[in-house]
């Protein structure tokens, strides 16, 4: 009898709402079968369940309904699965009524992600206002529980970064910042000549000095501003050495610029590899010999093996070093 009722409801749902209502039928039938042994309980649950479905646009379930299903794990879980598909407002109300603040926060983040998918959301539109507010609300809810300190901090940082990126897109009239990382935001600022904004982002997010040197060197090389790169390298001794400058120049295929910094590399291996990458076999071999590592020396020779002149240089140098007892 109960299954027949279910099939009738299923047919009715499909007629009035299309195939998507099949999900409602599945939820309805499952609750019906689970609660058929508790006849005094299932009637109000089913009533409100169907009310959620048929009037989901205008009406919300009362709090007593939430209390009823929350005491019954299976009914509760089915209700949650159902409203996830149809009405997030109901789910928010349910989580709030049961004190599950972190679940409300995750729902708010999901809503912000849905705004992100909007094609207009990456073009400096007012859509970012509501999106940022949703993330900030989620952050406040996460902050209510000690177990979600990480999520709270992450949401706070995300909202702050989005706000800065939105301001940058508005001021520059360029839709190139939203949803990029902190590092990419800094690089984009520098490569477009907006050094003040880059410093602001660095300060706001406490970017470590070593990473700052990497980001600025790479950004200046992308811009092709070699004079600014050289000036930057001379401000003070780079905290991580001159490797960022070497990598930036080689990455931009600027051999002459790379030669300004390769000799300043303190590690013989790094110098050797850098010289090899720009095709300077003799300098690479000389630096490799200073490393006093036969395995590295042999590996570098294989790397430059297609160059007959390089092979000759390595063989000659190996013979000389072997005679001296180095290898």
- Distance between CA atoms of residues 283 and 271, nearest Å: 9
**19 is a domain residue:** yes
pLDDT recorded at residue 66: 73
DSSP string, 161-179: HHHHHHHHHHHHT----TT
**120 is a domain residue:** no
CA gyration radius, the chain: 32
**26 is a domain residue:** yes
Q: Which domain-ending residue is among 21, 56, 86? A: 86
**290 is a domain residue:** yes
- Distance between CA atoms of residues 278 and 115, nearest Å: 47
pLDDT recorded at residue 97: 72
Question: Model pTM greater than 0.85?
Answer: no
pLDDT recorded at residue 215: 97
pLDDT recorded at residue 217: 97
pLDDT recorded at residue 51: 54
**252 is a domain residue:** no
pLDDT recorded at residue 19: 41
Domain that holds residue 293: 282-327
The one-digit pLDDT tens for each residue of the chain (327 residues) are 444 444 444 443 443 344 444 445 445 544 544 444 444 454 455 545 555 544 444 455 566 677 777 777 777 777 777 777 666 677 777 777 777 778 778 888 887 777 766 655 555 555 567 888 889 888 888 888 888 889 999 999 999 999 999 999 989 888 889 889 999 999 999 999 999 999 999 999 999 999 999 999 999 999 999 999 999 999 999 998 999 999 999 999 999 999 999 999 999 889 988 998 898 888 887 887 776 766 776 677 666 656 555 555 555 655 555 434 444
Token digits of residue 162: 């989005």
**31 is a domain residue:** yes
pLDDT recorded at residue 268: 87
**29 is a domain residue:** yes
**36 is a domain residue:** yes
Q: Are 160 and 204 in contact (CB under 8 A)?
A: yes
- Distance between CA atoms of residues 25 and 14, nearest Å: 9
Q: Which domain-ending residue is among 60, 86, 112? A: 86
- Distance between CA atoms of residues 99 and 141, nearest Å: 11
Q: Which domain-ending residue is among 86, 109, 133? A: 86
Our count of domains for the chain comes to 2
């Amino acid at each position: 009898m109960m299954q027949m009722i279910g099939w009738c409801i299923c047919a009715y749902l499909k007629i009035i709402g299309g195939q998507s209502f099949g999900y409602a039928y599945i939820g309805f039938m499952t609750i019906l079968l689970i609660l058929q042994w508790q006849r005094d309980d299932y009637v109000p649950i089913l009533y409100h369940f169907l009310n959620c479905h048929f009037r989901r646009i205008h009406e919300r379930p009362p709090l007593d309904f939430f209390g009823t299903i929350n005491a019954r794990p299976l009914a509760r879980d089915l209700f949650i699965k159902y409203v996830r598909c149809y009405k997030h407002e109901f789910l928010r109300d349910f989580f709030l009524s049961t004190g599950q603040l972190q679940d409300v926060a995750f729902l708010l983040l999901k809503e912000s992600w849905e705004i992100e998918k909007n094609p207009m959301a990456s073009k400096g539109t007012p859509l970012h206002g509501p999106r940022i507010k949703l993330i900030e609300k989620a952050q406040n809810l996460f902050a209510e529980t000690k177990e979600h300190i990480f999520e709270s901090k992450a949401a706070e940082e995300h909202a702050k970064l989005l706000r800065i990126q939105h301001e940058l897109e508005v001021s520059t009239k360029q839709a190139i910042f939203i949803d990029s990382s902190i590092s990419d935001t800094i690089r984009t600022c520098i490569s477009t000549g907006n050094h003040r904004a880059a410093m602001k982002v660095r300060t706001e997010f406490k970017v470590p000095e070593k990473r700052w040197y990497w980001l600025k060197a790479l950004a200046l090389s992308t811009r092709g501003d070699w004079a600014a790169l050289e000036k930057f390298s001379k401000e003070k001794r780079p905290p991580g050495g001159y490797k960022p400058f070497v990598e930036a120049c080689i990455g931009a295929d600027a051999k002459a610029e790379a030669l300004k910094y390769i000799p300043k590399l303190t590690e013989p291996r790094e110098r050797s590899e850098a010289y090899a990458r720009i095709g300077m076999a003799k300098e690479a071999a000389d630096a490799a010999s200073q490393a006093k590592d036969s395995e590295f020396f042999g590996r570098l020779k294989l790397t430059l093996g297609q160059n007959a002149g390089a092979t000759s240089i390595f063989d000659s140098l190996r013979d000389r070093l072997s005679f001296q007892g180095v290898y």
